[in-house]
């Protein structure tokens, strides 16, 4: 087996013997080498995972709130999350962690699908209780092809960081799992460069496997793939999946993999350049005092980064003190909590935030208008001021907002509440949308019925009328050609519904 020499930590004679012969070596105590905030988040994430560990199958129960079982239904186990937890155990290295990590990795490897010639070959079951896909299976309903990249890159990180502490047979299993994941993806041929987060992981894993297994064509093809993602990015210095608090976190992970462990100088350079550029774009849309991004969001699982686990929030937690980090307290209830298990993969890579971007995350850097072309007709705009943020996306009327069926949030408002905290407004439903944010106003072209979700403590339907929303800390004057309007209470706020609208201008004023 070819040895991989790293500058830090240095490989000792004992470590070399372990690589060659599978001998056990003393623990490397990696936790002690971490920066304080990285160590703090790693310990919190591993403790969180401990609470969902099922020792029998050596897998995590699903931490997702939506997976809480109904009457008579078992809670599912989660394969991807178990791979992240295993890396966290190797990093924490408390008594019993090493053995548990090995058991977890063996359990995850056993969930890889072996189906040569099928589109799902090389991916992993999401849960061991899933039915095996059959001919005609539909991706994301019957299986998730992206588990190749999520789990494959986690295996790569484990081999890069902890190869000397793995038994020979398990190392071989992880390696063969990576090969099958790459081969399965190449057979399926379903990826496009604009599927940003998966495309970036795929390019890294493809070239990594080529270098490790002496397949130079995979190295060159993986580099060429990453180059094609970069070419698309450089059209506007923007990714197609624009302004996504969760999927930007995956992008940063894949770019950090390329920057730190890319197998060619070009891959490392591309990773570092795109990583720095992405951090700067995130910083421009970020309001440190409100601890939120402004929107618009191509993909988002929530509206308040202080209330749910976003992957960008986790990355920021590595470089910011707790009081500035846009994350909920991990010791309490968290929305989208299952993503907190991903912390070890970020910790082991480290966040490299450009100093000029980091200043935006520490303190609000002043009033600004943002205009960002994305692709085709799409343009993201935002207005940020001391107490207010507006976001809008022009789509050429090519995209729709559909509640409960999409993560697309094309028109957003955030403001500072009088008692502290943040209120927000989201255009939750509209068939076709163009939105533009300007100073103190949001201009929206829509076709058909539109619904705005308004979230602020204590508001009632009486505060919302057809042309005036009187909210705590904010007044919104509404100009629209819609003649029909209703307001009703919903979970956590109000819905303002307008029938047959084609135009809105929302003017924001202090109360």
Among candidate residues 277, 196, 191, 305, the one with its CA nearest the CA of residue 241: 196
pLDDT at position 13 is 37
The pLDDT confidence band at residue 71, using thresholds 50, 70 and 90, is: low
- CA dist., res. 275 & res. 258, Å (int): 9
- pLDDT tens for each residue of 341-374: 999 999 999 999 999 999 999 999 999 999 999 9
| Ranges 27-41, 132-146, 403-417, most confident | 132-146
Instruction: Judge whether residue 492 has pLDDT over 80.
Output: no
- Quick one: what percent of the chain has pLDDT higher than 90? 84
pLDDT at position 300 is 93
Domain ranges of the chain: 23-131+142-361, 366-509
| Helices 147-162, 196-212: inter-axial angle, 10-degree rounding | 40
pLDDT at position 4 is 35
- pLDDT tens for each residue of 211-233: 999 999 999 999 999 999 999 99
Q: Quick one: average pLDDT of 159-177? A: 97
Instruction: Judge whether residue 17 has pLDDT over 60.
Output: no
Is-contact 500 431, C-beta < 8 A?
A: no
* CATH number of this structure's domain 23-131+142-361, picked from the four choices 1.50.10, 1.10.150, 1.20.120, 1.10.1060: 1.50.10
Strand partners, 430: 401
Instruction: Judge whether residue 29 has pLDDT over 90.
Output: no
Q: Report the 3 state secondary structure along 219-249.
A: HHHHHHHHHHHHHHHHCCCCCCCCCCCCHHH
Instruction: Judge whether residue 376 has pLDDT over 80.
Output: yes
pLDDT at position 421 is 92
Q: Are strands 286-287 and 441-455 parallel, antiparallel or unpaired?
A: unpaired
The pLDDT confidence band at residue 66, using thresholds 50, 70 and 90, is: confident
The sheet that has 77-78: what strands, in order across it?
53-54, 59-61, 77-78
- pLDDT tens for each residue of 180-211: 999 999 999 999 999 999 999 999 999 999 99
The pLDDT confidence band at residue 90, using thresholds 50, 70 and 90, is: very high
Residues 6+ apart with CB under 8 A from 265: none
pLDDT at position 367 is 97
pLDDT at position 404 is 59
Is-contact 242 235, C-beta < 8 A?
A: no
- CA dist., res. 358 & res. 180, Å (int): 39
- pLDDT tens for each residue of 458-481: 899 999 999 999 999 999 999 999
- pLDDT tens for each residue of 237-264: 999 999 999 999 999 999 999 999 999 9
Instruction: Judge whether residue 170 has pLDDT over 50.
Output: yes
Among candidate residues 85, 180, 75, 173, the one with its CA nearest the CA of residue 129: 75
Instruction: Judge whether residue 27 has pLDDT over 60.
Output: no
pLDDT at position 18 is 42
Is-contact 288 316, C-beta < 8 A?
A: no
pLDDT at position 30 is 73
């Amino acid at each position: 087996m070819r040895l991989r020499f790293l500058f830090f930590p240095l490989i000792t004679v004992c470590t070399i013997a372990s690589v060659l012969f599978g001998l056990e070596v003393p623990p490397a105590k990696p936790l002690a080498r971490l920066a304080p905030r990285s160590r703090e988040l790693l310990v919190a994430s591993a403790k969180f995972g401990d609470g969902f560990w099922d020792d029998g199958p050596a897998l995590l129960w699903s931490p997702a709130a939506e997976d809480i079982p109904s009457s008579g239904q078992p809670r599912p186990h989660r394969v991807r999350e178990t791979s992240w937890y295993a890396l966290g155990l190797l990093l924490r290295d408390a008594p019993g962690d090493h053995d548990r990590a090995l058991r977890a990795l063996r359990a995850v490897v056993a969930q890889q699908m072996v189906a040569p010639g099928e589109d799902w070959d090389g991916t992993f079951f999401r849960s061991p209780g899933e039915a095996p896909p059959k001919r005609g299976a539909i991706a994301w309903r019957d299986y998730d092809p992206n588990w190749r990249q999520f789990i494959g890159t986690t295996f790569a990180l484990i081999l890069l960081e902890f190869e000397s502490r793995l038994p020979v047979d398990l190392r071989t299993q992880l390696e063969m799992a990576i090969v099958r994941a790459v081969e399965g993806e190449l057979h399926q041929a379903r990826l496009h460069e604009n599927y940003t987060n998966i495309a970036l992981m795929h390019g890294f894993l493809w070239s990594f496997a080529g270098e490790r297994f002496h397949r130079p064509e995979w190295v060159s093809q993986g580099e060429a793939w990453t180059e094609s993602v970069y070419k698309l990015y450089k059209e506007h210095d923007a990714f197609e999946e624009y302004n996504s608090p969760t999927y930007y976190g995956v992008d940063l992970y894949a770019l950090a993999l390329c920057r730190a462990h890319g197998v060619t100088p070009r891959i490392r350079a591309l990773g570092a350049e795109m990583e720095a550029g992405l951090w700067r774009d995130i910083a421009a849309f970020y309001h440190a005092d409100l601890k939120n991004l402004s929107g618009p969001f191509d993909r988002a699982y929530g509206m308040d980064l202080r209330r749910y686990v976003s992957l960008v929030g986790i990355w920021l937690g590595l470089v910011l003190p707790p009081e500035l980090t846009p994350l909920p307290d991990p010791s309490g209830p968290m929305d989208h909590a299952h993503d907190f298990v991903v912390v070890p993969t970020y910790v082991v890579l480290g966040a490299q935030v450009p100093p000029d971007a980091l200043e935006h995350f520490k303190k609000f850097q002043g009033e600004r208008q943002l205009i960002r072309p994305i692709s085709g007709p799409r343009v993201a705009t935002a207005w940020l001021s001391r107490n207010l943020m507006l976001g809008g996306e022009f789509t050429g009327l090519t995209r729709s907002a559909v509640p409960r069926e999409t993560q697309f949030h094309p028109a957003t408002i955030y403001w500072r509440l009088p008692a502290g905290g943040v209120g927000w407004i989201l255009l939750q439903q509209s068939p076709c949308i163009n939105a533009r944010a300007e100073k103190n106003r949001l201009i929206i072209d829509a076709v058909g019925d539109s619904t705005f979700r308004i979230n602020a403590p204590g508001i009632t339907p009486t505060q919302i009328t057809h042309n005036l929303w009187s909210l705590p800390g904010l007044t919104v004057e509404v100009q629209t050609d819609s003649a029909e309007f209703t307001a009703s209470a919903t979970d956590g706020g109000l819905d303002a519904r307008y029938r047959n609208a084609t135009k809105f201008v929302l003017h924001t004023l202090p109360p």
